[in-house]
């Protein structure tokens, strides 16, 4: 039986990049004590605050935001998903919002640039145009985690936060072989209380895949966030959920469950 141990780090990042990275690193090291195969951080783990600060935080990859976690990946012999950070693009005013997957040797194994940007105006809630400060990506990404589950390779589909509302992306990832879907997020409380769990469970059910969703909590950039990092199984059952506040939530993914569910409910797109 193939199993993948995962650890989701829930953070309350603010405008202090060094403090955010230090706190994230400490929680990653704490997670590593349980020896999971994959440790995942939320979207914008390094910075939440005014637009100018996000632009200024943008770096090349690899760079200063990935180096501490490359060392941790080597020390812990674990894959680490940096949920998202600011990556320089050709437009200095609009960096990418990029997920970085590090392998156990500390090397970048995959990059995913957020495709669907948070351009919304919620009545009595947040109003934002992420496209004013972010350059969108244009590709879906499925990465292979080698030898993490009883020496079995695992296909991981990458996405970020607002992508969750676009089911066609997850069909692409599933068609590309993904059995685990990652949704690192900075989900607002105004939308999260009604939509977060519903959408995560829907993506799991319609694709017959595990969904792992590490999230921000607390208030970043003045906007309350929902938290509730969670893991959903291929039947749509929430098998792990974080408590309120920063911390780590663990789950053991029985990958045979993907095969079982897809056999019973063959709704996956052809490969």
Residue 222 has pLDDT above 90, yes or no: no
Q: What is the CB neighbour count within 10 angstroms for residue 49?
A: 18
Radius of gyration of the chain (CA): 17
Classify residue 269: in a domain, yes or no.
Answer: no
Classify residue 182: in a domain, yes or no.
Answer: yes
Distance CA 148, CA 20 (A): 28
Residue 124 has pLDDT above 80, yes or no: no
pTM of the model: 0.94
Classify residue 270: in a domain, yes or no.
Answer: no
Domain count of the fold of the chain: 1
Residue-number span of the structural domain to which 114 is assigned:
3-264
Catalytic residue among 43, 130, 172, 189: 43
pLDDT score for 160: 97
161 is catalytic: yes
Classify residue 251: in a domain, yes or no.
Answer: yes
217 is catalytic: no
Tell me what the mean pLDDT of segment 252-271 comes to.
90
Catalytic residue among 87, 114, 130, 217: 114
pLDDT grade, residue 54 (50/70/90)? confident
Classify residue 105: in a domain, yes or no.
Answer: yes
Catalytic residue among 18, 71, 130, 161: 161
Tell me, what CATH number does 93's domain have? Answer: 3.60.110.10
114 is catalytic: yes
Instruction: Encode pLDDT of 65-110 as tens digits.
Output: 999 999 999 999 999 999 999 999 999 889 999 999 999 999 999 9
């Amino acid at each position: 039986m193939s199993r993948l141990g995962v650890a989701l780090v829930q953070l309350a990042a603010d405008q202090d990049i060094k403090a955010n990275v230090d706190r994230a690193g400490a929680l990653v090291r704490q997670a590593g004590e349980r020896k999971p195969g994959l440790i995942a951080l939320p979207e914008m783990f390094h910075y939440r605050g005014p637009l100018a600060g996000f632009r200024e935080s943008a770096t090349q990859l690899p760079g200063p935001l990935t180096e501490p976690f490359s060392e941790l990946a080597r020390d812990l012999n674990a894959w680490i998903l940096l949920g998202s950070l600011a990556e320089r693009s050709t437009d200095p005013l609009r960096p990418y919002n990029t997920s970085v997957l590090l392998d156990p040797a500390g090397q970048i194994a995959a990059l995913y640039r957020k495709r669907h940007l948070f351009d919304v105006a919620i009545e009595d809630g947040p109003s934002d145009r992420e496209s004013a400060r972010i350059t969108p990506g244009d590709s879906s990404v499925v990465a292979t985690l080698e030898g993490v589950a009883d020496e079995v390779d695992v296909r991981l589909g990458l996405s970020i936060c607002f992508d969750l509302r676009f089911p066609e992306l997850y069909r692409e990832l599933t068609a590309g072989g993904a059995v685990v879907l990652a949704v690192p997020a900075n989900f607002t409380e105004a939308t999260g209380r009604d939509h977060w769990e519903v959408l995560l469970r829907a993506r799991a059910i319609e694709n017959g895949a595990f969904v792992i969703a590490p999230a921000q909590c607390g208030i970043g950039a003045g906007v309350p966030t929902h938290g509730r990092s969670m893991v959903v199984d291929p039947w749509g059952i929430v098998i792990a959920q974080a408590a309120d506040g920063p911390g780590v939530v663990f789950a053991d993914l029985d990958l045979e469950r993907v095969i079982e569910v897809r056999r019973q409910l063959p709704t996956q797109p052809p490969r």
